[in-house]
Structure 1
Amino acid sequence: MHPARTQYPAGRGYLAACTLGLPAIATRDAVRADLERWATGTATAADYSASLERSRGHAATLLGTTPDRVATGSQVSVFTAVVAASAPAGAEVLCVDGDFSSMVAPFLARGELRVRHVPLDALADAVGPRTWLVAYSLVQSATGELADEASVARAARAAGALVMVDTTQATGWLPTDRLDADIVVCHAYKWLSAPRGAAFAAFSDRAIAELSPITAGWYSGTDPWASCYGPELHLSADARRFDVSPAWHAWAGAEPALAFAAGLDLDLVRAHDVGLANAFRARLGLEASDSAIVTWPDETGCELAALTAAGLVASGRAGRARVAFHLWNDEDDVELAADALAHRPAPLVVR
């Protein structure tokens, strides 16, 4: 059992970190305190901004960079749209077949980009001289597969292409502080267990220089409180130029969540999570993997229904049952899930 399990009193049988994380006690308390301050009229914009800046620092730690290279926002798709809007007309964007829509849709919506989709294991080999950007999720949402990010980075650098990586299904259980990428985006409501609406992204020098801050607003200046009104355009020189006006209440909970995650040894978290996932895979007769997410075919939904009937929280994606193991889980959760599937009714055979 990971020592952090005591911070998650509702963790037993919760196998859905890949869908929605559970708040730690400190995060729950922070959200409750924020609601009380708001209700009593004692919440202030200055306090929210200070919390956001502390969160920016924790996000920088998780992504292995400095706060001046981190932008804050509310959704991965918004950061992706910034990149898509900056692509030259006709540019080639290389994506993974079946990747999450937030990493694909903004490029398709441009209508004038050449968007190619290839299997995950063919991504590095598919990079060519026409590739402007390689965009992919480090861990695939539907399957839990991990990308070979080092190979992709080498191929992209050789071709002069930008690299964009979504770590929403990775940061929190997998170390993401050594990625070779120009844009790293993450929504913190899954493995980082923050409230939904708190997202962040790290930008390289090249990305800061070449991408257009199309979401610029009052929070994209060096000092947001001096950037509230026109007619001038107020843009920070660093990654803050890509900031989106913060969803204050989400960041009140995100600050303790990100602080907690940034203080963990994520190599040990990975060993814990993957160890439980592989123990479950063994019970199902599946090969071991390097992912904390386990998926298997479930076209009829019977597998997910059996887990749900046993009081477990799991999910289904793309015709597959999906479970995930994280800090609040232990060997008992593996046994509960395996037993639920062992006792599921036999599938109905129609002759």
Structure 2
Amino acid sequence: MPTTLSASAARSVFDGGRGYLAACTAGIPPRSARDAVVEDVRRAAGGDIDVSRYCEAVERSRGLFAQLVGIGAERVAVGSQVSVLTSLVATAIPAGGEVLVPEGEFSSLVRPFLHTGRDLRVREVPLEALADAIGPDTGLVAFSLVQSATGEVADVAAIAAAARSHGVLTYGDATQAVGWLPVDATAVDALVCHAYKWLCAPRGAAFLALSPEFQRRITPLHAGWYAGDDPWASCYGAAFDLAPDARRLDVSPAWQAFVGAAAALEVFAAIDTQDLYVHTTGLAARFRAAMGLDEPVLPSAIVTWPDPDGRDLAALSRAGLTASGRAGRARVAFHVFNDDADVDLVLGALGRQTSAARPVVV
């Protein structure tokens, strides 16, 4: 695979995608990820189960994710779910501290702070007010870089600057961002991402990127054999050293998930990130214009609009399109495997056409 793929060239590595507008729910695996998982199952069914091969896939995935967010692999821990990794982040906040979150934030980024048994105080404010709401009592600001329910893109720079001015830690969820939005993990103190959405990996491969200072504050609650400095010497008893870097926060990985993740992440590591950003947000902007929807403050590949009775979502389903509905809104997402024909299909299903619409090519 070339070092850099354009968005249009990258579309060719996917078999599906036409009429699939739900990368914000779950991504479509590229052929290489599909083939890797199928081959692994075939080998396993024949008795060829090689744990070292699985560990290689985990480490390859860790390195590729680090590359995608601009840091070294030693700063990335692996896990299975955002909520589990968030429970680790919660240990860095002093008992009774305030965690500031946007209103309507995804629960996996909120509820772990409410159930630590350490009386953390969770305060919700509108996303646009998040930076101004940070104060001397705030211990952590936790927010999604892109909101799941609305597709709103957070002003990470403004939030991070306000947090630094108050000596407050920042924790970003990039699950709805990495894969279409250029993301710099160094912009926040901690960054979590589940790879099954925009990175098109199997569910069960998640990553936690940490600044060295934040890493030192976290208690490795879930430490097991894979958190050891030498995992193979850490399988039994208590007398072993945890890894000296972010690997000390690893949980035992879901092997097959990382087999597929390594292949999927290789695809996204090869795509020109800026070209993909322009491609996805351009499709979304064209759809918004045809629907008469306002452009967001910051461009987004996710478009939502009020659909309280689910009528629009039902119309999309009847047309054979895959979309989603969240919080009383219809939601479509435009990804690398989508193009202008998908915009036309959605507009047609909703009874909206413009002079800018192009003929549908199936």
Q: Which band: TM-score by shorter chain?
A: over 0.9
Contact 1:93 1:132 in 2 (8 A): yes
Find 1:74's aligned residue among 80, 84, 88: 80
Which stretches in structure 1 are left out of the alignment for 5+ residues? 344-351
Match of 1:264 in 2: 271
Work out whether 1:339 is the aligned partner of 2:338. no
Aligned to 2:322: 313
Match of 1:24 in 2: 30
- Residues 179 and 283 from structure 1, CA distance in 2 versus in 1: closer, same or farther, beyond 3 angstroms? farther
Contact 1:95–1:116 under 8 Å retained in 2: yes
Match of 1:194 in 2: 201
Aligned-residue offset at 1:179: 4.3
Q: State the match for 1:120 in structure 2.
A: 127
Q: Which letter does structure 2 place at the counterpart of 1:170?
A: A
Tell me the equivalent position of 1:210.
Answer: 217
Partner of 2:139: 132
TM-score, scaled to structure 1: 0.96
Provide the C-alpha distance between the structure 2 equivalents of 1:44 and 1:288, rounded to a whole number of angstroms: 50
Q: Following the alignment from structure 2 to structure 1, what is the Cα–Cα distance between the partners of residues 132 and 227?
A: 37
Q: CA deviation at 1:233?
A: 4.8
Question: Does the aligned pair in 2 maintain the 1:96–1:123 contact within 8 Å?
Answer: yes
**What secondary structure sits across from 2:40 in the alignment?**
helix
User: In the alignment, does 2:177 pair up with 1:166?
Assistant: no
Aligned equivalent of 1:346: none
CA deviation profile, 1:268-293 (whole Å, cap 9, x unmatched): 10100000011111111112330000
Partners of 2:10 and 2:217 lie apart in 1 by 41
> CA separation in 2, counterparts of 1:231 and 1:199?
26
Query: Which residue does 2:3 correspond to in 1?
Result: none
Deviations for 1:87-110, whole angstroms, at most 9, x for unmatched residues? 211101111110100100001113
Tell me the residue number matched to 1:91. 97
Contact 1:61 1:177 in 2 (8 A): no
Higher mean Cα deviation, 171-180 or 50-59?
A: 171-180
What is the one-letter code of the residue matched to 2:306? Answer: P
The one-letter code matched in structure 1 to 2:121 is R
Distance in 2 (CA, whole Å) between partners of 1:271 and 1:193 is 19
Structure 2: runs of 5+ lacking an equivalent:
1-6, 353-362
**Which of 29, 34, 41 is matched with 1:35 structurally?**
41
1:149·1:179 contact (CA, 8 Å) conserved in 2?
A: no
The corresponding residue for 1:304 is 313
Q: In 2, Cα distance between the equivalents of 1:209 and 1:233? A: 18
Say whether 1:231 aligns with 2:238: yes
Count of residue correspondences: 344
1:11 aligned counterpart, secondary structure: coil
Structure 1 position 117, deviation (Å): 0.5
Would you identify which runs of 4 or more consecutive aligned residues in structure 1 move more than 6 Å? none
Identity of aligned residues (%): 57
2:113 aligned residue: 107
Structure 2 counterpart of 1:10, one-letter code: G
Alignment correspondent of 1:324: 333
Shift in Å, 1:232: 2.0
**Residue matched to 2:356:** none
AA partner of residue 75 (structure 1): Q
- Once the two structures are TM-superposed, the CA of residue 4 in structure 1 deviates from its matched residue by 1.3
* C-alpha distance in 1 between matches for 2:80 and 2:11: 28
Listed one character per residue, the Cα deviations across residues 157-192 of structure 1 (whole Å, up to 9, x for unaligned) are 111111100000000000113541111000000000
Match of 2:56 among 39, 50, 59: 50
2:4 match: none
Q: Which of residues 159, 169, 184 in structure 1 aligns to 2:191?
A: 184
Q: What is the one-letter code of the residue matched to 1:35?
A: V
Measure, in 2, the Cα distance between the counterparts of 1:213 and 1:132. Answer: 19
Q: Deviations over 1:112-138 (max 9, x none)?
A: 011111100000001111111110000
Deviation at 1:62, TM superposition (A): 1.1
The DSSP-based 3-state class of the residue aligned with 1:197 is coil
SS in 2 for 1:133: strand
Q: 1:144 aligns with which of 119, 136, 151?
A: 151
Look up the SS of the partner of 2:78 in the other structure: strand
